A and B are shown apart, each in its own frame.
Chain A
């Protein structure tokens, strides 16, 4: 990866292997990787996400052994065969279905951490872009996976989302037909979704490898955003961060287990316990919680194509973040104004998420009718979505504008300085001890 390797082959076999395939050197360097000593718990989500991906792939491979990707058989193979007859099938499916939500929860916290502490800024733009690619792949994979049980929400969700592509002029229709494998969501759609749902996680794994590689070139950012300046700023990844990540993964597993064992249907829609029926539209077609804010943005805009473009922009702007945010200061710890806008942005995303779960014409204040503006009453969820979407997109503009007037707080000289000043320990001894360990 990066930096001079400290690995010394000790035995004959190690020396022989090292000059042919230095895989032990590679692993040893990963373990010794110099990591900033001041990383907080928000930095444990990388490890948690790797764990989530492994859980999804492992449980998914077993589920695929028992799953039947046909319109007639899919629902029965999941709800009857896997849930009732396969040994611990209920557990494997529960982990996989809940695991998707856990994966997104961890991914969102990981992304928010990256934004708050400026982890996307130079020299980590490629690292950030690869992360955005993973996020888009995750959403695609999750969407296709949600279709596989072939319940009502699976079917109608597939129909609504694939229809979005039809909004594009000229290319929209052929792309939709290609995705469907025909002229409606049917068996061919289910078959290709199953195939792609099995393929994409391995693509994600490959991009994760690139993501980790791109991390190991510049090294970790840290809560101060101040670059690593000396060896005393860092600790070896192992044992310091392996044990800390391990502890965080274990805590995360407790939350995971609460849902798998005690609230298995917390993220499920009742309509998906009804087999897909192309002739009966569910009363409320709602995506999974992790897609709700984007769904609200889509519905906030009256024109379909513009709505789809806004949906694309709401995710696409993340890719542009390294160039939108012009502030030289990485961490929002030292950017009091940016920090406020950051939390407003999160609040906007949460409000949008709530809007996405509601009917578009549902009233915010029950019983109050004001006047119609662009298709919807002002007192409607759609208008809340519109204001929410403005705040959501406004954040990206603010990040570009802020450096014109924002006065950042003084940034410490080294990432280690705030560590020392926050304790009463003697700095000299601490540095010496650190050097011994590192």
Chain B
């Protein structure tokens, strides 16, 4: 009986550990997601809106190297259509790809050329190399967005908080270095830039990205009102999909696996009871 305790304690320790870190910034805003529950799936309309925000705003500075156009039409993706099980046949995907000019080599002459994208191409990087990217952004390379939602504590809620953050309202007493913006949700130490009470240094840190979104920045095709919160919510959901594109497949298979395992365990329990029926132990 007493030995049951350590199991719970070990588990609790294991689960609590990743969440523990000294916090100098505000916790991400509480946001509701369609995918947050164990069987929750992506909202496809939201992913499509989010893609549009990415395409028209984020992709000007952020690469998404691990996502190919065909992935947009994968099962669980923004433009999945059951009529086109092979996403390379999906006309929406093909049209999106063809809209881009991709750097390539002419297969006859070896010259550098630009050609329309195909569904097999990966989303093009806005910068030819990281040095250009840094030079264009005051020395800070905008991070690749393929895994961004997995690479930040808080995931999509963090992204939502950063892009809807309070970086427009700078606390009085904070002098920002040129080319930097204040954000309460980013980790950092603002002490060097603070001129007020030394015990009241604002939480948060500096970010090189100017506030990227504003109301009406994107016109949604489905008529959704493009408020700042809506744009941020949708693009954060899209980035979660980009970081975890197999989530729907994973949860669906997981449900089947759980049902099987519970039934299988029941069967083994019965076999165990049967074998031990006449055994004193």
Contact = CB atoms under 8 A, between A and B. Distances in A.
Interface of A: 37-38, 42, 76, 79-80, 83-84, 90-91, 94, 101, 105, 108-109, 112-113, 116, 235, 239-240, 243-244, 246-247, 250-251, 253-254, 257-258, 260-262, 264-271, 273-274, 283-284, 286, 289, 292, 339, 343, 346-347, 350, 353-354, 357-359, 362, 419-420, 423, 425, 430-431, 433-434, 437
Interface in B235-250: 243, 245-246, 249-250
B13 A350 contact: yes
Nearest to A36: B281
B258 A257 contact: yes
Given A262-B251, A437-B279, A243 B271 contact: yes
Contacts of B251: 261-262
B258 A84 contact: no
Contacts of B22: 284, 358-359, 362
Nearest to A356: B17
A266 B276 CA distance: 37
B273 to A, nearest CB: 9
Contact of B281 (A80, A109, A253, A419): A419
Contact of A91 (B7, B250, B280): B250
Nearest to B262: A254
Interface stretch (B150-158, B176-184, B216-224): B150-158
Given A247-B265, A254-B261, 13 more contacts: A109-B10, A112-B6, A243-B268, A243-B275, A246-B272, A247-B269, A261-B251, A261-B254, A262-B254, A289-B13, A339-B2, A354-B16, A358-B22
Question: Which applies to chain A's interface (DSSP): helix, strand, loop or mixed?
Answer: helix
Interface residues of B, number: 54
B280 A262 contact: no
Given A292-B17, A350-B13, A358-B20, A37 B250 contact: no
B271 A257 contact: no
Given A250-B264, A257-B261, A434-B279, A91 B151 contact: no
B278 interface: yes
Which of B5, B264, B275 is the most central at the interface, judged by chain A CB atoms within 10 Å of its CB?
A: B275
Interface string B1-44: 01101110111011111101110000000000000001000000
A192 to B, nearest CB: 27
A350 B278 contact: no
Given A80-B66, A83-B246, A257-B261, A269 B279 contact: no
Interface of B: 2-3, 5-7, 9-11, 13-18, 20-22, 38, 65-66, 71, 143, 146-147, 150-153, 187, 243, 245-246, 249-251, 253-255, 257-258, 261-262, 264-265, 268-269, 271-272, 275-276, 278-281
Nearest to A83: B246
Given A116-B3, A419-B280, A105 B152 contact: no
Nearest to B152: A270
A77 B65 CA distance: 13
Contact of B14 (A91, A254, A289, A434): A289
Contacts of A264: 250
A254 B279 contact: no
A208 to B, nearest CB: 22
A252 to B, nearest CB: 10
Contact of B66 (A76, A246, A339): A76
A260 B262 CA distance: 16
A430 B280 contact: yes
A44 B216 CA distance: 61
Contact of A425 (B17, B66, B151, B280): B280
A433 B279 contact: yes
A105 B243 CA distance: 28
Contacts of B269: 247
7 contacts: A84-B245, A84-B246, A112-B6, A243-B271, A273-B150, A286-B17, A433-B280
Given A247-B269, A247-B272, A266-B15, A38 B281 contact: yes
A343 B14 contact: no
B265 A250 contact: yes
Nearest to B7: A109
Contacts of B271: 243, 246-247
B254 to A, nearest CB: 3
Contacts of B16: 354, 357
B275 A239 contact: yes
Contacts of A434: 279-280
Given A37-B281, A354-B20, A358-B20, A257 B13 contact: no
A235 B135 CA distance: 74
Contacts of A343: 2, 5-6
A271 B84 CA distance: 36
Which of A91, A250, A265 is the most central at the interface, judged by chain B CB atoms within 10 Å of its CB?
A: A250
Contacts of B264: 250
A261 B150 contact: no
A350 B246 contact: no
A243 B279 CA distance: 14
A366 to B, nearest CB: 10
Contact of B280 (A94, A240, A284, A423): A423
Contact of B153 (A112, A250, A270, A359): A270
Contacts of B249: 90
Contact of A37 (B151, B246, B279): B279
A293 B140 CA distance: 37
Contacts of B268: 243, 246-247, 250
A289 B18 CA distance: 8
B250 A350 contact: no
A243 B3 contact: no
Contacts of A251: 265
Given A105-B10, A262-B254, A292-B17, A240 B279 contact: yes
Contact of B10 (A79, A261, A350): A350
B201 to A, nearest CB: 14
A116 B271 CA distance: 29
A83 B66 CA distance: 10
A37 B279 CA distance: 8
B14 A267 contact: yes
Nearest to B253: A261
Contacts of A286: 17
